[in-house]
Homo-oligomer: A and B are copies of this chain.
Amino acid sequence: MVERTNRRDAIIEVASRLFLERGYAATSVRQIAEEVGVTEAALYYHFKAGKRELLEAVVQCNMPDLIGAVEACQRAETLHDFIVGFARGLAARAREHMNDKMRWLIAEFPNLNEEERALLRAKYLAFRDALRGQVRRFVSDEREAQFIASALLFVMFGYGQLMITLDMQSVIDFDTDDFVERLAQRFAC
């Protein structure tokens, strides 16, 4: 493992912010170096493989922490409470820019190499399995638990991308709490 200097981390942080704001292709190495307060040459010392290596680093540190949202509601005693708690956990993570990270990963997906795509898929799978494991506590049938976990996942993801990322919430009168409550009732019956 290569030693990580503070400067290297600072570069990744700035690159991460700019990539998420404007996209990989629209961000220049010069802009990143300027905002960090170093020259391009210094940046290329830290990232010998250039801009692509910067992308790799940013992809790594922007993998969304989905698992945490499941762990946050392990104590629920009914499926209904679990679903409501899960939605609450995701909402908290949305405030930590989880939606922006997902939007960005989707946006840059065509630019990712196979290794990075595999990492993203592994994260997704681990998340789905954790979710299914929790649902399994309340649903005895394996296939039914699988279905509920997938459905919850799709609903939450679709909500995040449509309402938050595409900012539909600013123009639509949508009662999220009521939606989550109805969803929980529907799946817990």
Stretch from A8-16, A30-38, A88-96, A105-113 that touches the partner: A105-113
Q: Which chain A residues numbered 37 to 57 have a C-beta less than 8 Å away from chain B? A: none
CB distance from A63 to the nearest CB of B (A): 13
User: Could you say which residues of chain B place their CB within 8 Å of the CB of A159?
Assistant: 154, 158
Main secondary structure of the interface of A (DSSP, over half): helix
A20 to chain B, nearest CB (A): 9
Task: Decide if A67 is an interface residue (CB 8 Å cutoff).
Answer: no
Q: Given A155-B158, A157-B158, is A166 in contact with B23 using a C-beta cutoff of 8 Å? A: no
Contacts known (A154-B158, A157-B162); A107 close to B174, Cβ less than 8 A: no
Closest to A183 in B: B151
Decide: A106 near B103, CB < 8 A? Known: A153-B162, A168-B121: yes
Contact B155 A121 (CB under 8 A): no
Most buried by B among A150, A158, A159, A161: A158
A144 at the interface (CB under 8 A from B): yes
Q: B147 touching A154 by the CB < 8 A rule?
A: no
A41: shortest Cβ distance to chain B, in Å?
A: 24
Give residues 113-148 of A contacting B (CB, 8 Å). Answer: 117, 120-121, 124-125, 143-144, 147
